[in-house]
Structure 1
Amino acid sequence: MPFPSRPPQIDPAGAAPARVVRPSALSDEEIAAWETLHRSRPELASPYFHPTFTRLVAEARAAHARDDVRVALLPSHESASGGTGTAFFPFQRGRWGRATPPGGRLCDFHGVVAPDSFRRNAIDVLRGSGLRSYAFHMLPPGQRTFAQATRTRGDASPGTGVRVNLEGGFDAFLRRREALGSKRHKKVFQFHRRMRRERSEVTFTWHDPDPQAWERLLAWKRAQYAATGFCDVLAAPWVSDLLARCRDARPADESTAKKSRERGAEGFRGVFCTLRAGGEVVAAHLALRSGPRLHAWFPAYDPSARSLSPGNVLMMELLRHAADRGVTAVDLGRDDEAYKADYATDHFPLLSGLAETPGRATQVAAAARRVRDLLKSHPAGAPARAAAAWVRPLRERLSLR
């Protein structure tokens, strides 16, 4: 069923109109075209750019009365070689024409899935999608549409993404880390040996079907949020639903999946890894995979086993097993946690900002933001800063509704 209610507004340059639909309304041909773009362009290799992730977010939110995930299909301009193509812009629509990536802050990488010939600007994309603004928090390289015509938020600065290069296998990764001057892996191996001495058997499971292990991951993660003061994203029922859907995601036809693996085009799937010591789960990690790219997503460990560093032992085993299964790169998201520096081999910029269409509503909102930023930065603005700090957790919780 088409969406939105108001007709798309197209810029005067003659760009073709967009078609905005629910993910479930995409045809097999359109999904195949999306998957082809995902496979063929390295900057779109993240599982977040796979159509299955958008579909799963839509299903999870719709199951909890949040039918707000859409995909805009935007015809591309003709390429120099004479070919044309369609770009796909997945988004989650909020009030008053505002939008975020599907799943909001849970979608680490986001933007437009487009052929190289795509040249439509941000304002055209937003108007064609029936939107007034699009807020992003981890826009990766290659996203020209929003990177070129955006206002960087006053409360956010460009960040850095980190990646583990597994080209050539696990041993090649260790050599890269040593070339960077790191010997952290040797310390992790020591923890692994110590765990074997103290807990007897230590086992790693690449994809664990144990429901009790899954419940432990969720409980540990919620305890971690409470201890650190971060917003508990799992308090929103649709988030737990989404994680479970991603965990269980598999290609529908395993024979087709086998052929896809042989040509390096394996589809979207969840990977729920666990580490057991003495028969007890001490660490778990939900990751997302699409072809040769893996994204580390939800890790947690048993706080009572902290002295054995189970989270690091699990991460090292995850990298070892991922390399054995044809994964050539593991994304760790933004470099906002110290442990990521122990594994990263590559760094790249991530942008945070807001793309908006011109108009009176946008001008009013921009003026309000300028006043807010002025109050927060003024030497006498301590009350405003305190109020902003108090409101931030509420704003984060509301963003997960």
Structure 2
Amino acid sequence: MTANVVSVVRPQELVESQLSAWRDFQGADERLANPFLAPEFTLAVGRARSNARVAVIESGGTLAGFFPYERGALGVGRAMGSGLADCQAVVHSPDLRPEAQDLTAGCGLAALEFDHLLAYQVPLVAYHVVTEASPIVDLAAGFERYIAGHASLDRQTRRSKRVAERELGPLSFELDVRDKAALRLLIEWKSAQYRRTGRFDRFAKRSIMQIVEEMMESQADGCTGTLSMLYAGGVPVAGHFGLRSKTVLCSWFPAFDARYSRYRPGLLLFRSLIESSASIGIGHIDLGKGQEPYKQELKNGDIAVAEGWVERPVPAALLRRVQRAPRRLLLDFVLSRPALYVRTMG
């Protein structure tokens, strides 16, 4: 067997032939079509985060794959877009079998952590700690087939639409809004939502703001920033910013004006988003892993994603294991008790 050779570069050091090969690898495997796996996302993260790196994998002297990641303290690496990206993977040619230990060593890492890794990538299965079902809206059979399977959702949205139009004015929806002011409005709504729910405001981090603003400008086939807005009587009431490839739309930042919450603007937005996405050939919408009620309401399928880590037999990896132990023990405790897991996950 030919050994794989790993070299490490900063994202901005990738040359056009490498970027082209990266896109070709994605195009050869529909499972890699997620826009978070596109080089454009990695390049944006690289411009915002100085610790971004890309492992370039060669096999038999031929370019064979890429793994974007971020290098942290103690030589611990995390898959690219940690805390931000909903999909992680080694993007590679069909013939490559990436070895987890060799990849980690080639990156010069003591440990490599992931939390949204595509679970089908066999060489990393041994390092999965948890595998979860990440909900999707499967549109392969078209919107009419999808909505026929969601009769309750259809009734709810029709009812909410009638009430909203009677009290607020006609509803309208735009799939792709090229307006920075609209993006700022959406971010204001999302930040307010984070505060209301006691969650950390991700937009308080300058690097995340920079990545989102850059993605808003991206028009690449494999990674197009897409801002969608719902209006009532000409007034914006809900919005969504995500990334899309030719066949996959990633739900990233949905939000609405809380003053209109009684009309369920988020649900109205997603119905329009789903219908419009189907009309332009999107095969599925990735809602991101999580048990939020709206995701369970919208979904009609799942993609398996994994959380775990690869460790090398070096002192820094042992120290990282000690740091990770309390969280790991808590996770094992919950997962070993099904009734507690159900209550915790809602």
TM-score strictly above 0.5: yes
Q: What is the aligned partner in structure 1 of residue 342 from structure 2?
A: none
Matches within 5 A, 1:35-184: 35-61=23-49, 67-76=50-59, 85-148=63-126, 150=127, 152=129, 157-175=130-148, 177-178=149-150, 182-184=151-153
Alignment-derived partner of residue 229 in structure 1 = 198
Offset, 1:60: 2.4
Counterparts of 2:115 and 2:332 in 1: how far apart (Å)? 22
Q: State yes or no: 1:279 paired with 2:234.
A: yes
CA displacement at 1:240 relative to structure 2? 1.0
Relative distance call for 1:369 and 1:173 in structure 2 (3 A) is closer
Could you report, residue by residue, the CA deviation over 1:306-326 in whole angstroms, capped at 9, with x for unpaired residues?
Answer: 010001101000111111111
State the match for 2:279 in structure 1: 324
Aligned to 1:344: 299
- Going from structure 1 to structure 2, the CA distance change for 1:372 and 1:300 (only over 3 Å counts) comes to closer
Task: Give the equivalent residue in structure 2 for 1:335.
Answer: 290
| Structure 1 segment 287-298 matched on structure 2, within 5 A | 287-298=242-253
Q: Which residue of 1 aligns with 2:19?
A: 31
Secondary structure (helix, strand or coil) at the match of 2:276 reads: helix
2:341 matched residue in structure 1: none
Provide the rounded CA distance (Å) in 2 between the counterparts of 1:352 and 1:187.
35
Structure 1 counterpart of 2:120, one-letter code: G
Taking a change above 3 Å as real, the CA distance of residues 360 and 292 of structure 1, as seen in their structure-2 partners, is same
Partner of 1:218: 187
Residue number among 2, 8, 30 corresponding to 1:20 in the alignment: 8
Helix, strand or coil: the match of 2:165? helix
Distance 2:35 2:180 in 1: 24
CA distance in structure 2 between the aligned counterparts of 1:297 and 1:376, rounded to whole angstroms: 25
> Cα RMSD over matched residues?
2.2
Q: Which residue of 2 aligns with 1:360?
A: 315
Which residue identity lines up with residue 144 of structure 2 in the other structure? D
Alpha-carbon distance, 1:204 to partner: 0.6
Q: State the Cα deviation string for residues 91-148 of structure 1 (Å, max 9, x = none).
A: 1111121111222110111021112322232110011111111111111232223222
Q: Secondary structure at the match of 1:99?
A: strand
Q: Which amino acid letter does the alignment assign opposite residue 139 of structure 1? A: L
Instruction: Return the letter of the residue paired with 1:69.
Output: A
CA shift for structure 1 position 213: 2.0
Between 206-215 and 133-142, report the one with greater CA deviation. Answer: 206-215
Q: Is the contact between residue 100 and residue 136 of structure 1 (CA under 8 Å) also seen in structure 2?
A: yes
Closer, same or farther: CA 234–324 of 1 in aligned 2, 3 Å: same
Unmatched 5+ residue regions in structure 1? Answer: 1-12, 62-66, 79-83, 252-265, 379-401
Cα contact 2:113–2:310 (8 A) shared by 1: yes
Unaligned runs of 5+ in 2: 334-346
Give the AA of the match of 2:270: M
How far apart, CA to CA, are the structure 1 residues paired with 2:327 and 2:88? 28
Tell me how far apart the structure 2 counterparts of residues 70 and 188 of structure 1 sit (CA, whole Å). 44
One-letter amino acid matched to 1:325: I
Aligned position for 1:245: 214
Paired letter, 1:18: V
1:187 alignment partner in structure 2: 156
1:112–1:145: 8 Å Cα contact kept in structure 2? no
Equivalent residues of 1:76, 1:117 under 8 A apart: no
Tell me the SS of whatever aligns to 1:336.
coil
Q: Retained in 1: the 8 A contact 2:239–2:254?
A: yes
Match of 1:310 in 2: 265
In 1: Cα distance, 2:257 partner to 2:13 partner: 42
4+ long deviations beyond 4 Å:
367-378
Which stretch shows the higher mean deviation, 367-376 or 194-203? 367-376
Aligned residues of 1:77 and 1:117 also touching (Cα < 8 A): no
Aligned length: 333
Distance 1:33 1:376, change over 3 A: closer
C-alpha separation in 1, matches of 2:182 and 2:283: 27
Q: Partners in 1 of 2:227 and 2:9 — Cα distance?
A: 31
Q: How far apart, in 2, do the equivalents of 1:299 and 1:360 lie?
A: 42
AA partner of residue 33 (structure 2):
A
Q: 2: distance between equivalents of 1:169 and 1:240?
A: 34
Deviation at residue 374 of structure 1 after TM alignment: 6.2
Give CA-to-partner distance per residue, 1:280-312, whole Å, 9 cap, x none. Answer: 110010010011111111000011100100011
- The aligned amino acid for 2:76 is R
